[in-house]
Amino acid sequence: MRGRFANLIERRMNRITLGRWTRRANDAPSLSLGKLRDLRQQARDLSAKLDSFLFTADGRLALPLIGSNAMQLPLYTDWSYRPEIWRGPIQPRGGASVQTKTPIGDEATVFHDCRVSELTYRQLRNTSEADLAPFGLGFDVFRFDGSFLSLSIDLPDDVCDGLGKRHIIRLDCIVDAESPIEIFARLNIKHGPNSDEMVRELPLSSEEVFVEFDLAYTNLDEKRVEKLWVDLIFEGPQMNQIVLRDVTLSRRPRAQM
């Protein structure tokens, strides 16, 4: 009984608050500048709390579920991973005038050489029935006076366990772009004092967007593998909106003859 009474009071208070802000919105054109400035700050504080609540509520109520690691993997996969950006909420969820070396979550970093950054990013909630990843990552690029833009993603240490030249690393993406664009994936492997890299262009016109890196074509020192990371490199990104709806990586041994 107490719970129902408390809910009725809360709903009544919410209606009063909504009515108050409706009147303020209608009166805004005629308010004094001092009063308008004070109410603007109150509105911003309220808006920030509401946005935070809606982001969490939408995330919990929408599908796919947050934390989902469902993936379509090749046969004989012995390791797979969906980076945190596409798996769960990150903080901050977005940024504007993004500078080079800006971290996105704990695993990714943006790099570019623009003198004036007109780049923004935001984490999005995937809601399509076809999506397996809970979240996506969107970039809005306006004027771009640099020569490169890349997103570097660190892979967890367990990808190094037992890694050898017999392995193939596969990267799968789901990409939406407002205008045509070329995206390259570069796999970087640090082993001892040396490092190897392999570059592949993502086939964005194909039904399945993936690239594979055959480690047989590297000089990998299997006993000294320390770290792997992937760079997604965007060619000519200006005046474009790019959404990475999912990024996953997997590892499998090459078929032996």
Cβ atoms 90, 104 nearer than 8 A: yes
Residue 200 has pLDDT above 90, yes or no: yes
Q: Are residues 6 and 123 in the same domain?
A: no
Once rounded to an integer, what is the mean pLDDT over residues 197-206?
94
What is the sign, positive or negative, of the torsion defined by CA atoms of 100, 102, 104, 107?
Answer: positive
Q: Are residues 52 and 101 in the same domain?
A: no
φ, ψ (nearest 5 deg) of residue 6: -65, -40
Instruction: Give the tens place of pLDDT for each residue, 210-246.
Output: 999 999 999 999 899 999 999 999 999 999 999 999 9
Residue 67 has pLDDT above 70, yes or no: no
The pLDDT assigned to 257 comes to 53
Q: Are residues 83 and 49 in the same domain?
A: no
Residue 256 has pLDDT above 80, yes or no: no
Instruction: Please report which residue ranges of 153-243 form alpha helices under DSSP H.
Output: none
Q: Are residues 29 and 90 in the same domain?
A: no
Residue 37 has pLDDT above 90, yes or no: no
Q: Are residues 147 and 186 in the same domain?
A: yes
Q: Is residue 174 part of a domain?
A: yes
**% of the chain exceeding 70 in pLDDT:** 92
Cβ atoms 58, 125 nearer than 8 A: yes
Q: How far is CA 205 from the centre of its chain?
A: 21
Q: Are residues 120 and 198 in the same domain?
A: yes
Of residues 49 and 215, more confidence is placed in: 215
When pLDDT is cut at 50, 70 and 90, the band that residue 64 belongs to is low
Q: Are residues 16 and 83 in the same domain?
A: no
Q: Cα-atom radius of gyration of the chain, to the nearest Å? A: 23
When pLDDT is cut at 50, 70 and 90, the band that residue 254 belongs to is confident
Count of domains in the chain? 2
Q: Are residues 159 and 48 in the same domain?
A: no
Q: Are residues 51 and 146 in the same domain?
A: no
Q: Is residue 88 part of a domain?
A: yes
The pLDDT assigned to 68 comes to 63
The pLDDT assigned to 135 comes to 92
Instruction: Give the tens place of pLDDT for each residue, 76-93.
Output: 999 999 999 998 888 899
Instruction: Give the tens place of pLDDT for each residue, 100-129.
Output: 999 999 999 999 999 999 999 999 988 877
Instruction: Give the tens place of pLDDT for each residue, 128-175.
Output: 777 889 899 999 999 999 999 999 999 999 999 999 999 999 999 999
Q: Are residues 145 and 46 in the same domain?
A: no
How far apart CA 150 and CA 216 sit, in angstroms, is: 26
Give the CATH number, domain containing residue 139. Answer: 2.60.120.260
Q: Is residue 74 part of a domain?
A: no
How far apart CA 136 and CA 150 sit, in angstroms, is: 16
The pLDDT assigned to 65 comes to 62
Once rounded to an integer, what is the mean pLDDT over residues 32-45?
87
Q: Given phi > 0 = left and psi -120 to 50 = alpha, else beta, which region is 251? A: beta
The pLDDT assigned to 12 comes to 82
Host domain of residue 183 = 79-253
Q: Are residues 37 and 129 in the same domain?
A: no
* 3-class SS shares of the chain: helix, strand, coil, % to 5: 30, 35, 35
Q: Are residues 124 and 190 in the same domain?
A: yes
Q: Note the pTM of the prediction, 2 decimals.
A: 0.74
The pLDDT assigned to 9 comes to 79
Cβ atoms 137, 124 nearer than 8 A: yes
Q: Is residue 68 part of a domain?
A: no
Q: Is residue 92 part of a domain?
A: yes
